[in-house]
Structure 1
Amino acid sequence: MLLWVSALSLAIWLWLACCHGMFWRTDQRLPPRSAPRRWPSVAVVVPARDEAAVLPDSLPGLLAQKYPGAARVILVDDHSSDGTGALAARLGEGGGLPLEVTVPPPLPTGWTGKLWALRHGVELAGDTDYLLLTDADIAHGPTLLADLVAAAGANGLDLVSQMARLRVETRWERLIVPAFVYFFAQLYPFRWSNRPGSRTAAAAGGCTLVRREALERAGGVAAIRGAVIDDVNLARAVKRTGGRTWLGLAEQVDSVRPYPRLAELWRMVSRSAYAQLRHSPLLLAGTVLGLALVYLVPVAAVVAGAAAGSAAVAALGGAAWAVMTGTFVPMERYYGRPWGEALLLPFTAGLYLLMTVDSAVQHWRGRGAAWKGRTYDSQGGDGQGRGELRN
């Protein structure tokens, strides 16, 4: 039985490596771009809730953008308790792009806090040509805004998104973060997402430039108002209504939020993992079995084959583990990590399996996707599309 299971695992890895959109490659960067004859207007919308700790490392970079056209920053203080709004206003006094700090109305039923804040910022932006939707913990390089707009214009794109480079300074960050991006790319191969007409669509919420007309055509922020995984749902909405989307790895976009302990990383993953599975017990069971078959069986086969003296089982498991490691090496290199750390991917996948199960358990306990004092039942709320707020 283990022989056949090991052979199946190897076959899956060969298919993933060769036929799944080359998800493991890290060459999807901003496409060729050229300066437009007229630089369109841009409003940068930053939803922020209790972000005073990271704003000094992120907001100044946005305000210092070297953009040839009209641009401004709208920071939406989502009823913070740590002085986020006042701090942002002080940082804005240093010059650069105009900054407006605003507070949205109270959160209504059916909306997640972030999307309600985004909607408020988008409304204040008015008839701007483009909107850059970004997070308060993201630092941007000085020419990022111009590069995004130039790439969108030169390639006829309605949505351009870059996956921010997360921190890998602590031991747990180095173990978890590269795998996080690797798994995301495996779920949504960037090449497929960037292909016009493909059913795959994805974006990264930390850095998403969207054409205002395309957002309105997709139904605006209200179209995804209850979505916990808002970035992917936004890309789907834009692509579903005829827009062209693009997603790739970043070169000037970095997260400044630290995750020093496993607990913080665990919460980051588990708060939305079960929502990604559409809160389906069947999809959860399939995911657990799939993760075990793809990531855990190769190691088990090597150990069991060696212990039982079965060279065939050990060889099949070792071959699957080698293919797995080889597909992970480019992501480790993107994060500046030695290739040998890619051998630990099965262990990291085991942690992700536990995080996914924990996400489902928290949902069944009524805690849903918890973040900064708010808990959401699901993308569909109570099953009627309401996305209920619990705290």
Structure 2
Amino acid sequence: MRNKVKGVLIALFATAALGNVQAQSENKTKFGKGIQFVAADSSFSVKIGARFQTLYQGSSNPATKEWDDRFLIRRARLKFDGFAYSPKLEYKIELGLSNSDIGNDTPEQTNNADNIILDAVARWQMTPTLSLWAGQTKLPGNRERVVSSQKMQFVDRSLLNSRFNLDRDAGLQLHNEHQVGTVILREIGSISMGEGRDITVNNSGGYDYTARFEILPLGAFKGDGDYVGGDLEREQTPKLAIAATYDYNDNAAREQGQLGDFLSAQRDLRTVFVDAMFKYRGFSSMAEYANRKAPDGAVVALDSLGNVEEAFTTGNAFNIQAGYLFPANWEIAGRYTNYEPTAGIGQREQQQYTLGLSKYLVGHSLKVQSDFTLQQEQNRDDRYQFRLQMELAF
């Protein structure tokens, strides 16, 4: 309750502040684009956006032979972005208000924050091609994670992402983009705390270092579509993006690097991602491969019976998905994900087969999505999952 009250107070404060400047601001409004204000002297701008996802989720329970289901608010977000002092200095603030957004991983550690702040980052465009980011935001990891949860092709991200994504972290990032003929090249590097978002204690290990390289050999996607699920822009010429990321988390303290429980010992984690996005005339496809290793061994502790009690999540995963958007803005999509954990860490190999159906009413700002998944896990009975979700964003 304390977390939600704090989030509401922040939202009210921001709204009141904007009310004071409305008289001297220019209001530019369009559904899905937020409420926008520009100061009369053009010294700053702010855009306010809000969105939420209502979700029904049900799955078979092989143990009880029952259907377990629930309704929930999967995500509820407030967004603020714009520029300050100069258009070259942009900022973004995003707050998460639902229980799933807040999700304190370590409630017993009272000196950790409560995870309301998702993004709080300033971006300075130093040159026409080079920008410096400072603050907390998503690391330049796998493509699926960087794609906004508002703009996904399915109800939620894949098993690959839930096991290996780098998530958000606080630190510095350098982004460079340049063009050679029609080919677009991007280089991104970051140094961050390594323990994830909203951590207020001193760094418990070393820092996290990430490097990513992207190539778009057929030119730019419309509407930054290389980081948007589905081909809502209906690209008239083939578009392709290929990328690779290497991440080194020095003396990681959490079982998934920036996510999961804090463990009693630390390990160096090395993660590699390779991914690609292709779009053409309503057809889209994305593929990703992830591999994570702990060179000094992933297992930290065993119980008295020799079972794994603490271990870092390591191994590899592959995800591929594809969909087609029909002229009436219905999309059908399929996804296959395979997860192979490192032997001995106490996790099972899994495969997931997902079929999705979506209706886009106003792009990704107002849509209804559903998917059905067959989950196969080593030495366990198959499970089935159905999800139905509405996204509303303004």
Greater relative contact order (CA < 8 Å, ≥ 6 in sequence): 1
Larger relative helix fraction: 1
Task: Give your verdict on TM over 0.5.
Answer: no
- TM-score scaled by structure 1? 0.26
Larger relative strand fraction: 2
